[in-house]
Amino acid sequence: MDQRIARSTLRVRGFHLDGYQHVNNARYLEFLEEGRWAYFEKQFDLAKLFNEGLAAVAVNLNINYRRAAVMHDELEILTSLSSLNHRSAVIHQVINRIADGKRIADADFTFVLLDTRSGRAMAIDGELRETLQRHVLDAPAGTE
C-alpha cells in the first residue's frame, strides 16, 4: 500500500447500531474522524503542528453510503490527501468491509488550516505547501 495512505481498522459494536441493526449514519462520521486522526498521526508530527498554532478545521464533508455495516463487521478506513488548494485541502476516505472487500462508504473531507492565535484560516504556501504536496495522492484512497 502507498505510504501516503493511512489504514486504520475497527470492529462494529452494538452501540454503533440503530434500530434497524446496522451502523447509524452518524457513526460513520466518527469512523471517518478516527481515520483522519490515524492519517495525521502517521504522516505528521501533530505535537509540532499544535505547538506552532495550527489546527485542521472542517469546512465541508461529502459522504456516500454504499451499503450497510452490521454487528461484528471488521472495517478498514483508508485515508489520503487528495488535493491541495490555496486555502484548503481535501482528504479522501474509504471504508471497506475487510471480510469481502466491499465498499461501505466513501467521503471527501475539505479542511482549512487555522492559525489558532489569530483564529483565521491561513494560506497554504511556502514550506507548509511543499510538505503537504508530498502527501497528495494522485488516485483517491482505495481505488488502486
**Predicted local confidence at residue 65, as pLDDT:** 97
Residue 143 has pLDDT above 60, yes or no: no
First to last CA, the chain: 9
Collapse the DSSP code of 100 into the 3-class scheme (helix H, G, I; strand E, B; otherwise coil) and give the result: coil
> Could you tell me the pTM of the whole model?
0.91
Residue 14 has pLDDT above 50, yes or no: yes
Q: How many domains does the chain have?
A: 1
Collapse the DSSP code of 46 into the 3-class scheme (helix H, G, I; strand E, B; otherwise coil) and give the result: helix
Residue at 38 is within a domain:
yes
Residue at 93 is within a domain:
yes
For the stretch 51-79, pLDDT in tens is 888 899 999 999 999 999 999 999 999 99
**Predicted local confidence at residue 140, as pLDDT:** 61
Catalytic one among 2, 18, 115, 125?
18
Contact 78, 32 (CB under 8 A): no
Query: Which residue range forms the structural domain that includes residue 110?
Result: 6-133
Sign of the Cα torsion 50, 107, 26, 23 reads: negative
**Predicted local confidence at residue 122, as pLDDT:** 94
**Predicted local confidence at residue 141, as pLDDT:** 62
Residue at 95 is within a domain:
yes
Residue at 52 is within a domain:
yes
CATH code of the domain covering residue 66 = 3.10.129.10
Is 18 annotated as catalytic?
Answer: yes
Residue at 143 is within a domain:
no
Residue at 142 is within a domain:
no
Residue at 89 is within a domain:
yes
Residue at 15 is within a domain:
yes
For the stretch 81-136, pLDDT in tens is 999 999 999 999 999 999 999 999 999 999 999 999 999 999 999 988 998 999 99
